């Protein structure tokens, strides 16, 4: 039996974020994240992304990216900000699988949870860690998005108005897109006893699923599309079209992913030895 | 309301095919300090972990304060010293204790004061700004003990509270536990039976994953008239027949090799001279001893029972 106390939950989330900023795992994520985005933003600040608005470049891009996405992102929008958005969405799985890998894993391995369980319920710990990871990663992406927006305003033609129009949608899309990945890592994190193993497990399952979906796609595209909904990046296409309607449609799947991964994770965590 | 603070019913735990505990039916009484003892592999830590809810039973049930171990109503009512849990490495220990106090419902300022109070209890106030990496094993143990003293729990469970501590610190911890035991039920697991004898009124003995006995410490230590000697060296078997030749002696027990121990039981109707006769007999047979105590120590009693 578990009851949920908001006060304890808030304290747990606050403490988890505080620990993330003090711990090796949190710092490792922030260093990787910062170095990657410093490099990308420095490249974007040259204004080269404006080339992506050209028809010729768009044609070449369409060989690799869905033409609908190219049209939505690079026609009538700030190209630097759109390029950032595309890269940000593509980087979400990589960074979230790394940053959210240690929601409970290391604390199971080190038995630190034994100091917590006399004071809080397992449900409060499980949900608290999920929220802590979500807030940390969301905050990191929001910060980088704001910097990218400022760069785009400076380098793109009509940048200010175009970026201001897209900024809320980009922020909401990024945060909504990353939440199911955090939930997926909640599940991986309760199975093993170290953050490294948890990350390895998350990446392995994710990559294996991508390969399986691709192989199935060769035989049957429709079936592959259905199967692809097992992993959260199936909604990426909708978010990338940068439309409130598409975004809201994709967002309907967020609670389903969170409940599905979360329930599986909770079923394991509530019964496992710690 | 039950007089028992913990009740188990057919409690069993297996790890794979190996049963660590089997069919444990035990009641731990309220308002006393209870020891949980047994040799390595007896299942002490497993039983302790089942009491705490760290492990889930394979069979049977356990009730703590009339609730299952994970019950929300137990939060803040029980405190636990886990044996091998590690504190966070990068946060100062004082801050970690404050975090624990906050989770127990203390407001921020009061949580800081509570952390100070428990650090004071284990004489580590000066280490509050240090991280786990900067503290010795013994100091970390004391910090872990300190976290179990936060708040005013109804039940404190301590797994090996004095393991790895020097004698002076052990005495300090024993004194803190003794003072807390006036208002709180306490359960202690320990290999150190002197600690159990000093602090506990009841003792649960486990052997090979089964309940061996559940008795009052006073019954185990003062059941018969006896003298326990710590000898200069191990006595040989001949002392047994020498002592048994005395009319008053009913039983002679020799410790295992290296223990240098001799326990002499004498008849309950023997007079006051009985002790002198036994000591004289040892002197006449040139068997020197370092220490003599009246009665049989828990150590000897338990060792004897466990074979």
Q: What is the pLDDT of residues A215-224, one digit of tens each?
A: 998 888 888 8
The answer to whether the CB atoms of B87 and A120 lie below 8 A apart is no
What is the Cα–Cα distance from B90 to A18, expressed in whole angstroms? 11
Show residues of chain A in contact with B71, CB under 8 Å. 1
Whether the per-residue pLDDT at B306 is higher than 80: the answer is no
State the number of CA atoms in the 13 A half-sphere of A19 facing the CB.
24
Best of B82, B87, B105, B141 to disrupt the A interface (most A CBs within 10 Å) is: B82
What is the Cα–Cα distance from A245 to A159, expressed in whole angstroms? 23
The answer to whether the CB atoms of B56 and A114 lie below 8 A apart is no
Domains, in order of start, for chain B? 4-219 (3.40.50.300), 222-306 (3.30.70.100)
pLDDT on residue A7: 84
3-state DSSP: chain B helix, strand, coil percent, rounded to 5? 35, 30, 35
Mean pLDDT of B91-110: 93
The answer to whether the CB atoms of A273 and B80 lie below 8 A apart is no
What is the Cα–Cα distance from B187 to B181, expressed in whole angstroms? 10
| Residue in A closest to B82 by C-alpha | A114
Given CB atoms, is A122 within the 8 Å cutoff of chain B? yes
The answer to whether the CB atoms of A119 and B103 lie below 8 A apart is yes
pTM of the model: 0.84
List the 173-232 stretch of A: residues with Cβ below 8 A of B. none
Structure tokens at B294: 């009246």
What is the Cα–Cα distance from A164 to A167, expressed in whole angstroms? 5
Confidence bin at A146 (pLDDT 50/70/90) = very high
Helix (H) or strand (E) holding B8: strand B4-15
Residue bearing the bigger pLDDT, B146 or B273: B146
Confidence bin at B222 (pLDDT 50/70/90) = low
The answer to whether the CB atoms of A22 and B75 lie below 8 A apart is no
Mean pLDDT of B186-196: 88
Residue bearing the bigger pLDDT, B199 or A2: B199
State the number of CA atoms in the 13 A half-sphere of B292 facing the CB.
12
What is the Cα–Cα distance from A231 to A85, expressed in whole angstroms? 20
| Residue in A closest to B51 by C-alpha | A118
The answer to whether the CB atoms of B99 and A15 lie below 8 A apart is yes
Whether the per-residue pLDDT at A63 is higher than 80: the answer is no
The answer to whether the CB atoms of A114 and B85 lie below 8 A apart is yes
Using a 10 angstrom Cβ sphere, with 0-12 exposed, 13-18 middle and 19 or more buried, the burial of residue B268 is: exposed
Show residues of chain B in contact with A102, CB under 8 Å. none
Show residues of chain A in contact with B52, CB under 8 Å. 114, 117-118
Inter-residue long-range contacts of B17-26, CB under 8 Å, 24+ positions, other chains counted: B19/B209, B20/B46, B20/B209, B21/B46, B21/B47, B21/B50, B21/B206, B21/B209, B21/B210, B22/B209, B22/B210, B23/B60, B23/B210, B23/B211, B24/B60, B24/B206, B24/B210, B24/B211, B25/B211, B26/B204, B26/B211, B26/B214
Mean pLDDT of B24-31: 92
- Write down the H helix ranges in B71-222: 93-103, 108-121, 137-148, 167-180, 193-199, 217-221
Given CB atoms, is A6 within the 8 Å cutoff of chain B? no
Mean of the per-residue pLDDT values of chain B: 88
Phi, psi angles (nearest 5°) of residue B70: -90, 10
Show residues of chain A in contact with B55, CB under 8 Å. 273
Short-list B214, B178, B254, B249, CA closest to B37? B214
Can you tell me which residue has the tokens 């994709």? A250
pLDDT on residue B79: 92
The answer to whether the CB atoms of A110 and B82 lie below 8 A apart is no
State the number of CA atoms in the 13 A half-sphere of A233 facing the CB.
14
Using a 10 angstrom Cβ sphere, with 0-12 exposed, 13-18 middle and 19 or more buried, the burial of residue A37 is: buried
Question: Tens of pLDDT along B229-265?
Answer: 888 888 888 888 888 888 888 888 888 788 788 888 8
| Residue in B closest to A16 by C-alpha | B99
Whether the per-residue pLDDT at A60 is higher than 90: the answer is no
Best of B85, B100, B105, B111 to disrupt the A interface (most A CBs within 10 Å) is: B85
Given CB atoms, is A68 within the 8 Å cutoff of chain B? no
Short-list B164, B89, B100, CA closest to B134? B89
Q: Which residues contact B113 (CB under 8 A, 6 or more apart)?
A: none
Find the angle CA(B203)-CA(B208)-CA(B211) to the nearest 5 degrees. Answer: 40
Mean pLDDT of B179-207: 89
Of B53, B68, B91, nearest to A117 by CB-CB distance is: B53
Structure tokens at A218: 């060769």
| Residue in A closest to B102 by C-alpha | A11
Residue bearing the bigger pLDDT, A3 or A135: A135
Tell me the β-bridge partners of B294: B227
pLDDT on residue A32: 93
Best of A8, A17, A118, A126 to disrupt the B interface (most B CBs within 10 Å) is: A118
Confidence bin at A262 (pLDDT 50/70/90) = very high
ipTM over 0.90: no
- Residue spans of the domains in chain A: they are 6-269
Residues of chain A with pLDDT > 70, as a percent, come to 99
Of B54, B68, B91, nearest to A273 by CB-CB distance is: B54
């Amino acid at each position: 039996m578990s009851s949920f106390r908001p006060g304890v939950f808030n304290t747990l989330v606050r403490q988890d974020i505080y620990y993330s900023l003090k711990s090796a795992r949190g710092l490792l994520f922030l260093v990787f994240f910062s170095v990657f985005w410093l490099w990308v933003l420095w490249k974007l600040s040259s204004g080269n992304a404006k080339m992506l608005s050209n028809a010729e470049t768009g044609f070449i891009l369409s060989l690799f990216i869905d033409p609908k996405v190219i049209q939505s992102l690079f026609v009538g929008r700030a190209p630097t900000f759109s390029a950032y958005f595309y890269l940000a969405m593509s980087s979400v799985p990589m960074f979230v699988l790394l940053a959210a890998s240690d929601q409970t894993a290391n604390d199971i391995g080190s038995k630190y949870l034994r100091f917590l369980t006399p004071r809080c319920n397992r449900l409060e710990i499980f949900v608290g860690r999920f929220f802590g990871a979500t807030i940390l990663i969301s905050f990191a992406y929001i910060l980088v998005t704001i910097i990218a927006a400022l760069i785009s305003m400076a380098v793109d033609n009509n940048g200010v108005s175009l970026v201001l129009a897209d900024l809320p949608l980009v922020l909401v899309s990024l945060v909504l897109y990353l939440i199911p990945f955090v939930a997926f890592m909640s599940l991986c994190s309760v199975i093993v006893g170290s953050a490294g193993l948890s990350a390895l497990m998350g990446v392995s399952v994710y990559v294996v699923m991508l390969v399986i979906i691709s192989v199935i796609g060769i035989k049957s595209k429709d079936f592959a599309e259905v199967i692809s909904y097992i992993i959260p990046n199936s909604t990426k296409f909708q978010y990338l079209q940068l439309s409130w309607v598409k975004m809201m449609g994709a967002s309907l799947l967020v609670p389903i992913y969170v409940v599905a991964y979360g329930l599986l994770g909770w079923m394991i965590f509530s019964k496992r030895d710690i | 309301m039950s007089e028992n603070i913990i009740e188990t019913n057919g409690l069993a735990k297996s790890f794979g095919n190996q049963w660590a505990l089997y069919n444990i039916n035990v009641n731990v009484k309220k308002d006393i300090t209870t020891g949980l003892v047994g040799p390595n592999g007896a299942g002490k830590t497993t039983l302790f972990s089942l009491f705490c809810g760290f492990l889930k039973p394979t069979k049977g049930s356990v009730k703590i304060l009339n609730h299952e171990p994970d019950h929300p109503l137990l939060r803040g009512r029980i405190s636990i010293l886990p044996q091998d849990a590690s504190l966070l490495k990068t946060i100062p220990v004082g801050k970690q204790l404050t975090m624990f106090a906050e989770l127990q419902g203390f407001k921020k300022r009061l949580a800081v004061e509570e952390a100070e109070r428990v650090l004071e209890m284990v004489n580590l106030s000066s280490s509050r700004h240090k991280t786990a990496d900067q503290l010795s094993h013994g100091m970390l143990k004391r910090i872990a003990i300190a976290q179990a003293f936060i708040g005013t729990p109804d039940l404190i469970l301590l797994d090996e509270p004095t393991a790895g501590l020097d004698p002076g610190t052990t005495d300090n911890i024993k004194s803190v536990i003794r003072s807390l035991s006036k208002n709180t039920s306490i359960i202690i697991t320990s290999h150190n039976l002197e600690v159990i004898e000093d602090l506990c009124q009841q003792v649960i003995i486990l052997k090979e994953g089964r309940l061996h006995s559940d008795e009052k410490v006073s019954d185990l230590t003062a059941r018969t008239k006896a003298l326990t000697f710590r000898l200069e060296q191990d006595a040989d078997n001949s002392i047994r027949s020498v002592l048994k030749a005395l009319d008053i002696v009913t039983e002679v027990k020799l410790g295992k090799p290296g223990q240098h121990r001799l326990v002499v039981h004498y008849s309950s109707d023997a007079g006051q001279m009985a002790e002198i006769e036994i000591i004289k007999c040892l002197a006449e047979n040139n068997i020197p001893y370092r220490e003599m105590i009246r009665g049989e120590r828990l150590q000897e009693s338990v060792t004897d029972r466990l074979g």
